[in-house]
Amino acid sequence: RKEVEQDPGPFNVPEGATVAFNCTYSNSASQSFFWYRQDCRKEPKLLMSVYSSGNEDGRFTAQLNRASQYISLLIRDSKLSDSATYLCVVNRPGANNLFFGTGTRLTVIP
């Protein structure tokens, strides 16, 4: 079983739509969770950390469900510039390493 699993997509949505991505992780002892964004042929960049109580950054909302080992990212009012691959990232317990999901590809259509 993979450490982090994501639906690869692609998700094709019109501008202004709301879209949600989900991710599951296998190790219940993981404590740190992140969403990264990766544009085509570019490096991954931190989008936001995910906190137990859920957190919001502008149009982006991240939630964590520890009981189900499930992380989500909600994007409201999608922009063309949101088109990218979104990586779900979970720490490896007991080590300063991260596990990266294979990513969910989003295309926002005019």
CB 36 within 8 A of CB 22: no
- The stretch near another protein (CB under 8 A) out of 18-26, 51-59, 62-70, 96-104 is 96-104
Smallest distance from the beta carbon of 25 to another protein, in angstroms?
13
The SS3 call for residue 81 is helix
- The stretch near another protein (CB under 8 A) out of 19-27, 60-68, 74-82, 93-101 is 93-101
Contact positions with another protein (CB under 8 A) in 10-69: 32, 34, 42-46, 49
- The stretch near another protein (CB under 8 A) out of 18-26, 66-74, 75-83, 92-100 is 92-100
What one-character DSSP code corresponds to residue 96? S
Among 13, 17, 74, 98, binds another protein (CB under 8 A): 98
| DSSP string across 9-23 | --EEEETT--EEEEE
What does each C-alpha distance from 78 to 8, 10, 16, 24, 96 come to in angstroms? 18, 15, 5, 23, 33
Question: Among residues 17 and 99, whose Cβ is nearest to another protein?
Answer: 99
